[in-house]
Amino acid sequence: MSTDSSQQKVRQAMQFQRNGELERAKNLYLGVLQEQPDNVDALHLYGLACHQQGDHNTAIEYIEKAVRLMPAQPVLRNNLGDALHRAGQLEAALEQLQKALELQPAYAGAHQNLGAVFSAMGEYEHALRHSSEAVRLDPDKPEAWCDHGLVLLGHAQLEEAADAFRTALKLRPAYPKVANSLLYVLNLLPDADPCDIAAEHCSVAAQVYGEVPVDLPAQATGKPIRIGFMSGDFCAHAVNYFFEPLMEHLDRSLFDTWCYSDVVHADDVTRRLQHYTQHWCDIAGWSDDRVIARVRADQLDMLVDLAGYTEHNRLAVFAGRSAACQVTWLGFPNTSGLPAMDYRIVDGFTVPASNAPSGAEKLLRPAPVFACFRPPAHAPEVSSAPFAEKGFITFGSLHKLEKINHRVVSLWADVLRANPGSKLLLARDQLDSWQQQRLHRQFASHGIEGEQLEMRRLTDPSDSFFSLFADIDILLDTHPWSGHTLACCALWMGVPVVSLITNSHAGRMVASVLHQLGRDEWVALDEGRYVEIATELGRDRNGLAGIRAGLRDCLKQSVLLDEPGFTRGFENAIRAVV
């Protein structure tokens, strides 16, 4: 093959690659490499196409060959570093990216990738320095602003992270990854107005997904009602503490069920859910258009989104109006912002009927609670109260670190000051040494020194976090995004929860649980009362021991664990709107 002919094929393959036709591009690159195995462009670009498809190990193999042939080319080093990062080879990625910057110090892409690698390594100061440099050098690159926002989120700089994501969306309005991140962060902002947040959800959804198709999909007639559920979490994931009870108890004479699973690696939970549903469809790796076509062919009466703006969501499928009626539930505590999403499931406490409507959807309140809780089988028996052995009260938090904003730190510091001798146990997989130092500094600024703080990093995925409740007397909830799943688990383990109610679904989920449990006295309307509730619980040691001994039985007898009752309410609500 002549040089001109090979160059022409490479240019043609590059065009395919730019258009997203990666298999056609790869075939052309391989054709060139059969004749010219040392063609650096073909080696590099074939590897890059594999990288784009998620085949990072093959990408490394080919781009490494290109680097050996042209070691002074920073672009090759940068792309090899990115592939090594995605393959989990962080030290090797670091070496390649630092070499790229030695060759070209003002290389924005290498700074961006270094920021991501340092973030994955827990080197957050280095990560912020490089991600900041990336957006300074190339302020028009949306990917750089996206990565910068993620680094800022790791620093719990929530407002700054939101602004970075907004900048990325201005540069690329149809950028679903950034939309997910921005709308997630908005629900964490402690001083934001819930109506403003809901309005931004709607504007972002319009940017990313556009208008609703005018043609409605075909709908089956007659009974049973054809209902589908879509999720990337049909596996060992907390969402199934609430979804599985519904699937087991749905009346099969009234409902014909579909599950559209975006799970790559099935597990025991996946297999249980497959047993409960009549129709199972694995959609992992499918394009959104293919999923839309499949759902429309199934002629559903209703399609239920279980993800919202969380990872692995398929909101584009709902934006494309795949079913005659579409509902969002469980995965995300706010509006989808999609005009094509007809309903959002809440309850009378998380969104009272007296509240002014906000968001794109109408509201469904199928039962006293928006979700029914099934404790996992591996949860241990309730332990004795830790204060009995330790001699002091241990407050606890197992929340994601980004939920522990500056207002939460200040409030928890007030709780510790009001309870001399008490401790706060913070535990999370994110709690590496840097994050521990950051939180120590934050608490120290409120007069709380290290002896009142205990921090644990959870590193073994096989360890159940339920065992940690044996070391916690009282769980402190976060705001404005309350810890719904965590509160349910704590209560099951006999641990009372103190929650500060706010004016949003996200901020009222735990209050809803406590209300149904008959424990409204653990719900605070302001920060002062929050401190008082925590203090009252901690000072009444006999009462606290009694609470721990009796909470599980109270939970069993409440509507929170009434699986048949919740399911009947859900069924009635669905039948009323389809």
Same topology, domains 225-372 and 386-561? Answer is: yes
The candidate with the shortest Cα–Cα distance to 47, out of 74, 88, 70, 80, is: 80
pLDDT at 355: 76
Q: Number of C-alpha atoms within 13 angstroms, CB side, residue 351? A: 23
Start-to-end CA distance of the chain, whole Å, equals: 63
- Could you tell me the pTM of the whole model? 0.92
Strands (E) in 377-525, as ranges, are 394-397, 423-428, 453-457, 474-476, 497-500, 523-524
pLDDT at 312: 87
Q: Is the peptide bond before 480 cis (omega within 30 degrees of 0)?
A: yes
Tell me the torsion sign for CA atoms 173, 179, 182, 187: positive
Alpha carbon distance 95, 80 (integer Å): 10
The candidate with the shortest Cα–Cα distance to 295, out of 321, 329, 268, 267, is: 321
Tokens of 108: 């924005």
Q: Is it true that domain 225-372 has CATH number 3.40.50.1000?
A: no
pLDDT at 212: 73
Angle subtended by helix axes 90-103 and 74-86, to nearest 10: 160
pLDDT at 461: 67
Helix (H), strand (E), coil (C) string for 141-191: CHHHHHHHHHHHHHCCCHHHHHHHHHHHHHHCCCCHHHHHHHHHHHCCCCC
Q: Are 514 and 523 in contact (CB under 8 A)?
A: yes
Helix, strand or coil, per DSSP, at residue 577:
helix
The candidate with the shortest Cα–Cα distance to 67, out of 84, 52, 53, 54, is: 84
Q: Are 508 and 369 in contact (CB under 8 A)?
A: no
pLDDT at 311: 87
pLDDT at 245: 97
User: Residue 228 belongs to what H/E stretch?
Assistant: strand 225-231
Cα Rg of the chain (Å, integer) = 26
Beta bridge pairs of residue 328: 305, 344
Alpha carbon distance 138, 144 (integer Å): 8
Helix, strand or coil, per DSSP, at residue 107:
coil
Beta bridge pairs of residue 428: 457
Alpha carbon distance 337, 199 (integer Å): 8
Homologous superfamily (CATH) for 386-561: Glycogen Phosphorylase B; (3.40.50.2000)
Name the CATH topology of 3-209.
Answer: 1.25.40
Beta bridge pairs of residue 364: 345
Q: Are 493 and 406 in contact (CB under 8 A)?
A: no
Query: What residue ranges do the domains of the chain occupy?
Result: 3-209, 225-372, 386-561
Alpha carbon distance 331, 511 (integer Å): 18
Residue with tokens 């992270």: 161
Tell me the torsion sign for CA atoms 398, 467, 333, 206: positive
Q: Would you give the DSSP letter of residue 476?
A: E
Helix (H), strand (E), coil (C) string for 397-429: ECCCHHHCCHHHHHHHHHHHHHCCCCEEEEEEC
Tokens of 101: 């910057």
Helix, strand or coil, per DSSP, at residue 33:
helix
Alpha carbon distance 75, 44 (integer Å): 10
Q: Are 232 and 341 in contact (CB under 8 A)?
A: no
Tokens of 168: 């990325």
pLDDT at 220: 67
Residue with tokens 């599950």: 259
Alpha carbon distance 158, 189 (integer Å): 7
Phi, psi (rounded to 5 degrees) for 327: -135, 145
pLDDT at 4: 65
pLDDT at 216: 75
pLDDT at 5: 79
Q: Are 78 and 84 in contact (CB under 8 A)?
A: no
Tokens of 299: 């002629």
The candidate with the shortest Cα–Cα distance to 398, out of 301, 495, 309, 290, is: 495
Q: Are 332 and 180 in contact (CB under 8 A)?
A: no
Alpha carbon distance 311, 39 (integer Å): 38
Provide the pairing of β-strand 523-524 with 497-500.
Answer: parallel
Tokens of 294: 């499949």
The pLDDT tens digits along the chain (578 residues) read 556 678 898 999 999 999 888 999 999 999 999 989 999 999 999 999 999 988 999 999 999 999 999 999 999 999 999 999 999 999 999 999 999 999 999 999 999 999 999 999 999 999 999 999 999 999 999 999 999 999 999 999 999 999 999 999 999 999 999 999 999 999 999 999 999 999 999 999 999 998 777 677 777 667 899 999 999 999 999 999 999 999 999 999 999 999 999 998 999 999 999 999 999 999 998 999 999 999 999 999 999 999 999 988 999 999 999 999 999 999 999 999 999 999 999 999 999 988 767 799 999 998 899 999 999 999 999 999 999 999 999 999 999 999 999 999 999 999 999 999 999 999 999 999 999 999 999 999 999 988 999 999 998 766 678 999 999 999 999 999 999 999 999 999 999 999 999 999 999 999 999 999 999 999 999 999 999 999 999 999 999 999 999 999 999 999 999 999 999 999 999 999 98
User: Residue 257 belongs to what H/E stretch?
Assistant: strand 255-261
pLDDT at 2: 59
Alpha carbon distance 338, 353 (integer Å): 21
Q: Are 242 and 374 in contact (CB under 8 A)?
A: yes
